């Protein structure tokens, strides 16, 4: 899976849908979706996703149920933390999960280790880390599944 930085010069200025919010400041979820597209095998650049108005409210928030791509689609949104569900999604090669951090940031969960916790791909820095970076403050999750079209 490609690691992407939401603030990259090639797309950080792009607006989310019809909103005034930029990918660089508010596009963590969009950048996570781009990384997932690579994981599932149908890579889509963050700017391409951001310009799809059907994916966003007028205020720039994600419309989860509209996230349907050629090789993956939205499954469900979960509020709070359910480690059993998160670990099950990580283990299944046909599923993926992005984690909400402290009600304001999204990262891709890439693995789990009992000693180190969750491994993540973080779109803010475009790097790999663990959830320790955010004091393990998981406040929600969004699940995706491979689609065959």
Tell me how far apart the alpha carbons of residues 84 and 29 are, in angstroms, rounded to a whole number: 22
Average the pLDDT over 106-132 and give the result: 95
What sign for the dihedral angle of Cα 125, 117, 93, 61?
negative
**Domain spans, the chain:** 23-146
Element (H, E) at 145: strand 138-146
Do residues 32 and 107 lie in contact, with contact meaning Cβ atoms separated by under 8 Å?
A: yes
CATH code assigned to 23-146: 3.90.70.10
- pLDDT single digits (tens) 41-57: 999 999 999 999 999 99
Q: Model-level pTM greater than 0.85?
A: yes
Dihedral-angle region of residue 96 (phi above 0 means left; psi in -120 to 50 means alpha; beta otherwise) = beta
> What is the band of 149 on the pLDDT scale with cuts at 50, 70, 90?
low
Element (H, E) at 87: helix 83-91
> What is the band of 148 on the pLDDT scale with cuts at 50, 70, 90?
confident
Element (H, E) at 30: helix 28-40
Tell me how far apart the alpha carbons of residues 77 and 75 are, in angstroms, rounded to a whole number: 7
Q: What is the pLDDT of residue 25?
A: 97
């Amino acid at each position: 899976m490609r690691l992407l930085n939401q603030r990259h010069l090639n797309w950080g200025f792009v607006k989310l849908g019809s909103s005034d919010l930029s990918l660089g400041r508010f596009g963590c979820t969009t950048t996570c979706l781009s990384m997932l597209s690579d994981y599932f095998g149908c890579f889509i650049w963050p700017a391409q996703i951001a310009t799809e108005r059907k994916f966003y409210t007028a205020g720039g928030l994600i419309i989860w149920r509209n996230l349907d791509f050629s090789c993956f689609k939205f499954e469900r949104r979960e509020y709070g933390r359910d480690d059993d569900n998160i670990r099950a999604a990580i283990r299944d090669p046909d599923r993926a999960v992005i984690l909400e951090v402290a009600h304001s940031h999204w990262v891709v969960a890439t693995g789990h280790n009992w000693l180190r916790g969750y491994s993540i791909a973080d779109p803010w820095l475009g790097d790999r880390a663990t959830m320790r970076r955010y004091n393990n403050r998981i406040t929600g999750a969004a699940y995706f599944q491979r689609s065959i079209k």
